[in-house]
Homo-oligomer: A and B are copies of this chain.
């Protein structure tokens, strides 16, 4: 391992430059105008594997390609599946970026660019760690199967068909994903629980076109009045979600978990300062960490309608729309919650308004086994990479692939986060610490070693 660490130190600048290269590709998967950039980023990832001599395929799908690569088999050692994604969120709102989102710059030790932490920077650590093994030892101590997709930010709709088709080739013992956060700066974490999600878009239409609000006000249902009334019905001002049956299947936190969360070095004032609010808000009766990690939520993600320009325009708009999503916790079924939301929308939409509902991707929450030897191996590897033992936490984000990997391949996933929760994932000025890029790569290199010591369960 010492030789590998030295190699990673010697090649730090090269690895960073390659990350910047990848960050310059505007691989926004949700928006079709970026399709060429998405393809370019996928090919770039494939070239990394080709260069190491790994069996590599750029698998075409109905959407963006999946890059698949595998390293040589290692007799007696576990097989690891690494999942990551090379696509990124849209960069909006553009005017809040200090520097352009696809021109990476280093500020205060961080690389700032869309995708820096989610997931290009984190994903690349598991490629660069393999390269370190190949260039020093000439081989890896475990077999790694890489699945790097280009549609994570738009619902991964072609991932599951791929995983089904490649199911036999993907046989493995454990999955590894780095697409989460450390608990805090210099306090790495292993995330053992993730929330699920359901995501909706609602489109309302009233009059067939925009009308003068003076001449027509009082005669037709204004689609913006209707939209605000409908959305307001979903959550009360205590953060309690009003969807019928929403809390029926929720698994309440165990006292042991509440105690663990409470013992973490979480400073609420620092948290408030960091996000820029003077008070936290959420479901009454739970702490901030409990709400973020283990209680379901509903957030409106976007809304539009009428006149958004400068000044006063007295329009009664013909259309309005919104996007909103619920984060789900263990045992809530996305299909059941989704159906309840659809029914509630249908019950709420007033006469005089036509509605179209678009139900996007959904995924259930997942909690991963804390007591497996893989979890212990990951903890040791992280301690070697970061010099600090990890804490075990949960996370409010959704990584649907974790559920799919469990359901299709029967494996648990190690969620090893190298990011920080102020990395502005999905927001402007997304960043990733270059020190953590380096330490994450070291931890990844150690992980292959630690996992190689585990006797394969199936042998």
> CB-CB < 8 A to A32: which residues of B?
310
Q: A305 contacts B303, CB within 8 Å?
A: yes
* A297-315 Cβ-contact flags toward B at 8 Å (1 or 0): 1111111111111111111
* A262-281 Cβ-contact flags toward B at 8 Å (1 or 0): 00000000010001111111
* A381-421 Cβ-contact flags toward B at 8 Å (1 or 0): 00000000000000111100000000000000000000001
Q: A277 contacts B221, CB within 8 Å?
A: yes
Q: B218 contacts A283, CB within 8 Å?
A: yes
Residue from the list B30, B207, B396 in contact with A311, Cβ < 8 A: B30
Asked if A89 lies at the interface with its beta carbon under 8 angstroms from chain B, I say yes
* A window 207-243: CB within 8 A of B: 207-222, 224-225, 227-229, 231-233, 235, 237, 239
Q: A396 contacts B300, CB within 8 Å?
A: no
* Nearest B residue to A200, CB-CB: B312
Q: B299 contacts A316, CB within 8 Å?
A: yes
Q: B211 contacts A427, CB within 8 Å?
A: yes
Number of interface residues of A (CB under 8 A): 101
For the complex formed by this chain, how many copies does it contain in all?
2
Nearest Cβ distance between residue A422 and chain B, in whole angstroms?
9
Q: A275 contacts B207, CB within 8 Å?
A: yes
Asked if A96 lies at the interface with its beta carbon under 8 angstroms from chain B, I say yes
Asked if A31 lies at the interface with its beta carbon under 8 angstroms from chain B, I say yes
Give A316 to B421 CA distance when docked, in angstroms.
14
Asked if A12 lies at the interface with its beta carbon under 8 angstroms from chain B, I say no
Asked if A327 lies at the interface with its beta carbon under 8 angstroms from chain B, I say yes
> Taking A295-B218, A299-B213 as contacts, is the C-beta distance between A155 and B208 under 8 angstroms?
no
Q: Which of A212, A350, A424 has the most CB of B within 10 A?
A: A212
Residue from the list B199, B235, B307 in contact with A302, Cβ < 8 A: B307
Give A206 to B428 CA distance when docked, in angstroms.
15
Asked if A24 lies at the interface with its beta carbon under 8 angstroms from chain B, I say no
Q: B218 contacts A292, CB within 8 Å?
A: yes
Asked if A361 lies at the interface with its beta carbon under 8 angstroms from chain B, I say yes
Q: B237 contacts A309, CB within 8 Å?
A: no
* A64-85 Cβ-contact flags toward B at 8 Å (1 or 0): 0000000000000000000000
> Can you offer 14 A-B residue contacts whose CB atoms are under 8 A?
A93-B210, A154-B312, A206-B277, A213-B301, A213-B325, A216-B275, A217-B292, A221-B281, A225-B300, A229-B232, A232-B232, A280-B352, A281-B352, A303-B305
